[in-house]
């Protein structure tokens, strides 16, 4: 169902509501909603699933994993979008060659039921919530045909972090994954955007160990370069100005006012008091 949700200034955005949760809106979903079919989607044991809250660097990790697994730097423009679990059609799921590199912003409990049985490898990615929120705001503003939103940053921050918009609350999302990691026997590796910005080569070596892929250091370095922000912005022409905005740690300082920052720190303390997750908001 198509819904309109207001920010703190009364400006509304269009979203998709399904089973009590909110998703990014796209008109085709009103005809055939892939989310309805998702629980029964067939999973293959060699699937790799990248899970992240929106704007955490999913495109970056997806491209790295795609190239690491392929073992070659092809320049084919495969779109991450057609491998996105909540949007993929039945045909797209079936037609993707193994190993499929799937990606999603859904919770673990929303993934296909076969995930628990087939135990595909999951790469779970996090990013500091201040930069994530800035990235989210800019993304929404760049897609007026879907979100139909023209609100101000000042009116966006609070409702966004309180979970009013698509995919709900970042806090609930990361806390849910922390619980899942404690209980499931599905293999999950946690990645973090700031760690990747600090040393992507180091993080890629960990990724390939987890995925059971062995590539030479030279190749891993080539993938690092191929997947740098500048290179991806150039190559991924279709999404260049929408997804590849700044690619930095700490841009939130250009957006959060002192008051918003104080409010955020207070909310973080309150919501995360039982969850020992820590994030870096700047890199030295």
Q: Does 138 help bind ligand PPS (rule: CB under 6 A)?
A: yes
Nearer to ligand PPS, 15 or 232 (CB): 232
Length of the chain as a residue count: 284
Coil, strand or helix at 121 = strand
Number of residues binding to ligand PPS, judged by CB under 6 A? 21
- Which of the stretches 144-152, 175-183, 227-235, 269-277 binds ligand PPS when contact is defined by CB under 6 A? 227-235
| From candidates 23, 25, 60, 255, binder to ligand PPS by CB under 6 A | 60
d(CA 171, CA 271): 7
Q: DSSP secondary-structure letter at 35?
A: H
Q: How far is the CB of 134 from ligand PPS (least distance, A)?
A: 6
Q: DSSP secondary-structure letter at 23?
A: E
Q: CA Rg, the chain, in Å?
A: 18
Nearer to ligand PPS, 7 or 166 (CB): 166
Q: Does 168 help bind ligand PPS (rule: CB under 6 A)?
A: no
d(CA 266, CA 96): 45
105 is catalytic: yes
How far, CA to CA in Å, does 92 sit from each of 42, 100, 104, 171?
12, 11, 15, 31
Q: Which helix (H) or strand (E) holds 202?
A: helix 200-211
Nearer to ligand PPS, 69 or 125 (CB): 125
- The mark string for 5-44 relative to ligand PPS (x by CB under 6 A, - otherwise) is ----------------------------------------
**How far out from the chain centre does Cα 236 lie?**
17
Residues that bind ligand PPS (CB under 6 A): 52, 54-60, 131, 135, 138, 227-229, 232, 243-247, 251
């Amino acid at each position: 169902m198509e819904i309109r949700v207001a920010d703190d200034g009364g400006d509304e955005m269009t979203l998709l509501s399904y089973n009590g949760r909110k998703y990014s809106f796209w008109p085709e979903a009103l005809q055939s909603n892939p989310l309805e079919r998702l629980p029964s989607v067939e999973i293959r044991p060699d699937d790799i699933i990248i899970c992240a809250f929106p704007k955490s660097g999913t495109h970056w990790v997806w491209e790295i994993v795609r190239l690491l697994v392929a073992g070659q730097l092809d320049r084919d423009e495969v779109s991450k979008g057609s491998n996105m679990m909540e949007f993929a059609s039945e045909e797209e799921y079936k037609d993707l060659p193994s190993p499929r590199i799937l990606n999603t912003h859904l919770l673990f409990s929303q993934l296909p039921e076969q995930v628990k049985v087939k135990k595909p490898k999951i790469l779970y990615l996090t990013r500091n919530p201040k930069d994530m929120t800035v990235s989210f705001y800019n993304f929404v503003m760049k897609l007026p045909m879907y979100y139909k939103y023209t609100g101000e940053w000042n009116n966006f921050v609070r409702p966004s972090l309180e979970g009013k918009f698509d995919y709900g609350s970042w806090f609930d999302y990361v806390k849910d994954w922390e619980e899942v990691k404690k209980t499931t026997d599905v293999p999950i590796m946690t990645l973090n955007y700031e760690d990747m910005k600090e040393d992507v080569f180091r993080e890629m070596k960990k990724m390939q160990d987890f995925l059971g892929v062995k590539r030479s250091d030279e190749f891993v370095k080539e993938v690092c370069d191929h997947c740098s922000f500048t290179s991806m912005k150039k190559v991924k022409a279709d999404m260049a100005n929408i997804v590849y905005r700044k690619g930095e740690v700490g841009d939130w300082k250009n957006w959060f006012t002192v008051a918003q920052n104080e409010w955020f720190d207070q909310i973080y303390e309150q919501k995360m008091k039982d969850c020992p997750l820590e994030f870096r908001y700047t890199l030295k």
